[in-house]
C-alpha cells in the first residue's frame, strides 16, 4: 500500500520521529512502525488526524488505498467478533464440564480414573478459549486498542477516540504488567468455573 510510503515521507519531511508522531495522534510507536512497514493499516480516524498534522488532505493521503484499508479493517472486525464469541462459548462449555466433573467425583463418588476424560475435556475447552483470547489480544495490539470504549468503537466500525485520560493512562502500563493481567484474568475464569462447579455440587448435594 502507498499510504505507508506517504506516512514515512511526510513524517521525515516534518522532522518527526515515530515516537513524536505517535504522541500527536494518540497511538503507540509500534503502531506507527507497523503502518510504515505495511504490517497493519490506519483505522478510520487516523488518516484525518494525520492529514491535520501534515497539513494535507485525507484524499491525498490515502488515495487508491481506501478499498484495501476498508477490506482490511472489516476483516479485522469480523475476526475479532468471531474470536470473542469462540472465547465466550468455550468458557461456558468449560464451566459446564467442570460442573460435570464435580458431579462425577463428589456427587456420584466416581473413582478419579473415570473422571480423567472429563478433566481433559475441561482443560481442552479452557485452552481453546485461551487461544481465542490471545487472538483477540493480537488484533487489539495491531490496531492499538487499549480501552473498552476503543474496542467497542472498532467493533461497530466507528472512529476510535484515543485522546482520553483513560486511554493515555492505559498506554503507559508496561507490556509485562499487561501480560500478567491477561494471564490472571484467564486463571480467574478457570477459578470461577471451579467455584461454579462446587456451588452446583452444594445445591445438588
Domain assignments of the chain as residue spans, ordered by start:
3-66, 74-204
* % of the chain with per-residue pLDDT over 90: 9
What integer is the mean pLDDT of 11-39? 85
- 80: burial class by Cβ within 10 Å (0-12, 13-18, 19+)? buried
Whether 76 shows a pLDDT value over 70: the answer reads yes
* Res 180: pLDDT: 86
pLDDT of residue 43: 74
At 117, is the secondary structure helix, strand, or coil? helix
Average pLDDT, the chain: 81
What is the rounded CA–CA span in Å between residue 94 and residue 87?
10
pLDDT at 120: 92
Measure CA of the first residue to CA of the last residue in the chain; give whole Å.
63
pLDDT at 1: 58
Query: Nine-digit cell at 2?
Result: 502507498
Give the model's confidence band at 125: pLDDT under 50 very low, under 70 low, under 90 confident, else very high: very high
Place 205 in a pLDDT band, splitting at 50, 70 and 90.
low
Across the range 29-33, mean pLDDT stands at 85
CATH of domain 3-66: 1.10.260.40
Q: Cβ distance 86 to 94 under 8 Å?
A: no
Q: Which of 151, 179, 184 is nearest to 84 (CA)?
A: 151
pLDDT surpassing 70 at residue 59: yes
Residue 131 pLDDT grade (very low, low, confident, very high; cuts 50, 70, 90): very high
User: Model-level pTM greater than 0.85?
Assistant: no
d(C-alpha 120, C-alpha 8), whole Å: 50
* CB 140 within 8 Å of CB 30: no
What does the pLDDT look like over 133-172, one tens digit per residue?
889 988 888 778 878 788 888 777 777 777 778 877 877 7
Task: Work out the average pLDDT over 65-72.
Answer: 65
Q: Specify which of 11-15, 71-75, 97-101, 173-177 reaches the highest per-range mean pLDDT.
A: 11-15
Q: Cell 515521507 maps to which residue?
A: 9
Amino acid at each position: 500500500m502507498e499510504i505507508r510510503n506517504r506516512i514515512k515521507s511526510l513524517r521525515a519531511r516534518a522532522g518527526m520521529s515515530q515516537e513524536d508522531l505517535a504522541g500527536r495522534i494518540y497511538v503507540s510507536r509500534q503502531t506507527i512502525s507497523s503502518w510504515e512497514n505495511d504490517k497493519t493499516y490506519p483505522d478510520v480516524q487516523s488518516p484525518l488526524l494525520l492529514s491535520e498534522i501534515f497539513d494535507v488532505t485525507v484524499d491525498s493521503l490515502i488515495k487508491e488505498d481506501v478499498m484495501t484499508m476498508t477490506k482490511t479493517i472489516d476483516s479485522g472486525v469480523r475476526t475479532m467478533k468471531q474470536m470473542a464469541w469462540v472465547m465466550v462459548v468455550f468458557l461456558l462449555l468449560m464451566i459446564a464440564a467442570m460442573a460435570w466433573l464435580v458431579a462425577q467425583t463428589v456427587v456420584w463418588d466416581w473413582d478419579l480414573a473415570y473422571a480423567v476424560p472429563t478433566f481433559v475435556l475441561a482443560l481442552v475447552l479452557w485452552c481453546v478459549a485461551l487461544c481465542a483470547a490471545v487472538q483477540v489480544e493480537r488484533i487489539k495490539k495491531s490496531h492499538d486498542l487499549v480501552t473498552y470504549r476503543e474496542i467497542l468503537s472498532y467493533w461497530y466500525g466507528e472512529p476510535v477516540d484515543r485522546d482520553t485520560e483513560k486511554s493515555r493512562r492505559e498506554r503507559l502500563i508496561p507490556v509485562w504488567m499487561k501480560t500478567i493481567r491477561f494471564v490472571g484474568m484467564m486463571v480467574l475464569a478457570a477459578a470461577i468455573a471451579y467455584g461454579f462447579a462446587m456451588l452446583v455440587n452444594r445445591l445438588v448435594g
